[in-house]
Amino acid sequence: MDVALEKRQVQRAYELYAPVYDFIFDWIFAPGRSAAIGGLDLQRSDSVLEVGIGTGLNLPLYPWSCHLTGIDLSQEMLDKAVERVQDLAMPNVVLKVMDATSMDFGENEFDKAAATYTISAVPDPVAVLREMRRVVKPGGIIVILNHFRSQRRVTGWTEDLLAPVCTRLGWKSNLMMEPLLEQVGLVPESITHVNMFKGWRLVKCINGK
C-alpha cells in the first residue's frame, strides 16, 4: 500500500487541530464513537488498547473500572487527554506517546483494541493494524471506526479527486477497506454504517491469529 502520509506531517496537522479538535469532532462523530466502544463488549477485567486516543473524547464512554491504555503520536493531543482523565477521575488509564506502527507492547498483551477515526490518519495503516493484531490476544475483539472509500462510483471518484488535499490536511479520503483488511488478515464479524449520511463504517473483527 502506498504510504501517503509522513509521520511528521501527521504530527504537524494534529498539533494545529489540538485546540479545536473537540469542538469539531465531538458532536458530529459522537454516534460512531459510542457505537465503537459499545462494540468492544467490555467486561470488568478487560485490558483495552485505544490506538489514536487523541484528546480522549472516548474516555467517558469506557466503564470507570476499565483498564485502558491509550496511545497517540501527538503530545499536544495527549495533554488534553490527561486533563480529561483527571477530570473523570479514572484510576486505570495509562496514556503514552507512541508510534502505532511500532508499539512498545508485548504480544497478546490486551484483550481488546479500538481505533476510532485513526486508520485513515496514520502513515501506514497496514502496519498499525498488524500491530493491533499482534498485541491483542487470539479471540480478542478489534474495532475499527473509519471513513473508507465509497463503493459508489461517483462518490468514490470524488474522494479520489480530493485525496491530495485531504492528505495535506492529515488524512486519506480514499482508503479502501476490503484490500486493507485482507492484507492484514482481518475478517469482519460485522460492518455497520454510522454517523451523518452513514458515511463511516464501524468494523468489528475477532482476532483470529
Torsion of the alpha carbons at 177, 183, 189 and 195, rounded to the nearest 10: -20
Class of the CATH domain delimited by 7-206: alpha beta
- Phi then psi for residue 39, to 5 deg, are -70, -15
The x, y and z cell numbers of residue 22, run together, are: 473537540
**Chain segment 159-179, per-residue pLDDT in tens:** 445 545 445 555 565 577 999
Rounded to two decimals, what is the model's pTM? 0.84
pLDDT (mean) for 103-110: 98
d(CA 200, CA 106) in angstroms, rounded, equals 31
**Chain segment 5-47, per-residue pLDDT in tens:** 455 555 555 555 556 566 666 677 889 999 999 999 999 889 9
With beta carbons less than 8 A apart as the criterion, state whether 172 and 186 touch: no
Whole-number Cα distances in Å, 89 to 18, 30, 82, 83, 95: 22, 21, 10, 10, 14
Torsion of the alpha carbons at 14, 58, 159 and 180, rounded to the nearest 10: 100
Domain ranges of the chain: 7-206
